[in-house]
């Protein structure tokens, strides 16, 4: 394989919370089966690797990397992260809220993966918590108005919001939180309440929500009951409906980005965005889902401290914006060209996704390929100087030379 770049064939994930038109509209294709398309995966994760188009036919990207890691990853990337692409690049489009979830740290992921292997739980089992031995910090960049819950609120803020509901069984649950400030204990007590107590809370909450005018999430950061109402309609009977009262609710406008580190409890509620993360599919769920829930394992991983949502500040010039984050494995970049060109050196493995317009890519010898809207390419490490031109927008996932932020 001697090409300087490879066009990708990628995998769609048809999770039931996905939008039927968000990704297809963005990438300019017809969703002929009218299925929910929740995510588009671009990368080399073992469960759904992209395929590169070669002169010999399509080849799974993880297999291509395995056959020639120096060529595809480069020595620097291999030295830091081993013989695998260190990131997973996605487009995500949520028509319905995702589960309350958390991602493990490296040691937790490695231990859990090895434990479930010893127990003989198949990697494809729905009961599996750990599908790989890696952690999963991530960045979400909004392409449309996007609403998320991210990390615990300050303790007093949670206590005030819950007391304002006037629901006695719920109010009593914040006493220990105010006493010790430990959200892990709070969740354990709330999620393990007897079913009868949960029903009382949810029935009283339902009566309270009749006074909430609608499910408009455009200002959910200031009016969390709008998010509670949405969750109540989507997941009746789930105590996770209460979560906007103790999790920060964040509204992102198009172009705004949020960073989530390991251990941060979160849930995406609505919107379409670009997502970039370490190369992992490890998700521990606590509610708002029909998928496998493992509360004890989630509580062993979750950070129990209040969290201030971390919005990323882009570093921009005339054609490119970088979104530095604390993650070592990845960096998200935005390329916007309006008839200009950008020549840049590619020393790290990079994936490019074109979302608007049409771009061209050329190497130093003049070899050129058109990149229409919806196309994606993989650029191996040490590909040297390449030039983008045309009118369009593309998102790039790459490996930073050094750590790009602070924890």
Q: Cite the active site residues.
A: 285
**116-147 in b/e burial notation, b at 16+ Cβ within 10 A?**
beeeeeeeeeeebbbbbbbbbbbbbbbbbebb
Q: Give the Cα separation of 304 and 188 in Å (integer).
A: 11
Q: Give the Cα separation of 287 and 295 in Å (integer).
A: 9
Q: How far is CA 133 from CA 76, 106, 112, 163, 372, in A?
A: 21, 7, 8, 41, 36
At residue 194's C-alpha, the angle toward residues 193 and 195, to 5°, is: 115
Q: Give the Cα separation of 292 and 101 in Å (integer).
A: 11
For residue 332, give the 3-state DSSP assignment.
strand
Q: Give the Cα separation of 355 and 278 in Å (integer).
A: 22
List residues bridging with 393 in a β-sheet. 336, 356
C-alpha 269: how far from its chain's center? 12
Residue 44's nearest CA partner among 278, 273, 260 is: 278
């Amino acid at each position: 394989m001697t090409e300087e770049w490879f066009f990708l064939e990628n995998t769609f994930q048809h999770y039931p919370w996905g939008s039927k038109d968000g990704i297809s509209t963005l990438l300019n294709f017809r969703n002929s089966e009218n299925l929910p398309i929740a995510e588009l995966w671009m990368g080399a994760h073992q469960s759904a690797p992209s395929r590169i188009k070669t002169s010999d036919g399509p080849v799974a990207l993880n297999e291509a990397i395995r056959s020639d890691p120096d060529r595809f990853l480069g020595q620097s990337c291999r030295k830091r992260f081993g013989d695998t692409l260190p990131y997973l690049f996605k487009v995500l489009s949520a028509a319905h809220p995702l589960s309350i979830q958390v991602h493990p740290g490296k040691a937790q992921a490695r231990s859990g993966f090895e434990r479930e292997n010893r127990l003989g739980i198949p990697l494809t089992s729905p009961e599996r918590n750990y599908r790989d031995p890696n952690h999963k910090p991530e960045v979400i960049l909004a392409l449309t108005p996007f609403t998320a819950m991210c990390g615990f609120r300050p303790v007093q803020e949670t206590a005030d919001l819950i007391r304002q509901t006037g629901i006695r069984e719920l109010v009593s649950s914040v006493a220990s939180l105010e006493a010790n400030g430990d959200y892990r204990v709070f969740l354990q007590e709330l999620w393990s309440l007897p079913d009868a107590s949960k029903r009382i809370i949810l029935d009283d909450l339902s009566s309270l929500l009749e006074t909430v005018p609608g499910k408009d999430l455009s200002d959910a950061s200031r009016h969390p009951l709008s998010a509670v109402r949405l969750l109540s309609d989507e997941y009746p009977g789930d105590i996770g409906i209460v979560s906007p009262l103790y999790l920060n609710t964040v509204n992102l406008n198009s172009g705004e980005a949020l960073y989530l580190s390991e251990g941060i409890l979160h849930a995406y509620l609505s919107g379409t965005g670009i997502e970039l993360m370490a190369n992992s599919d490890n998700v521990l769920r606590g509610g708002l889902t029909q998928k496998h829930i493992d509360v004890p394992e989630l509580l062993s991983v979750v950070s129990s401290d209040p969290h201030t949502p971390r919005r990323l500040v882009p570093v921009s010039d005339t054609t490119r914006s970088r979104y530095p984050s604390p993650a070592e494995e990845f960096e998200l970049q935005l390329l916007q060209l309006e008839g200009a060109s950008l020549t840049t050196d590619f020393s790290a493995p990079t994936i490019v996704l074109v979302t608007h317009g049409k771009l061209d890519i050329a190497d130093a010898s003049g070899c050129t390929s058109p990149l229409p809207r919806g196309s994606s390419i993989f650029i191996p490490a040490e590909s040297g100087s390449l030039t983008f031109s045309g009118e369009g927008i593309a998102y790039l996932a790459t490996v930073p030379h050094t750590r790009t932020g602070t924890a």
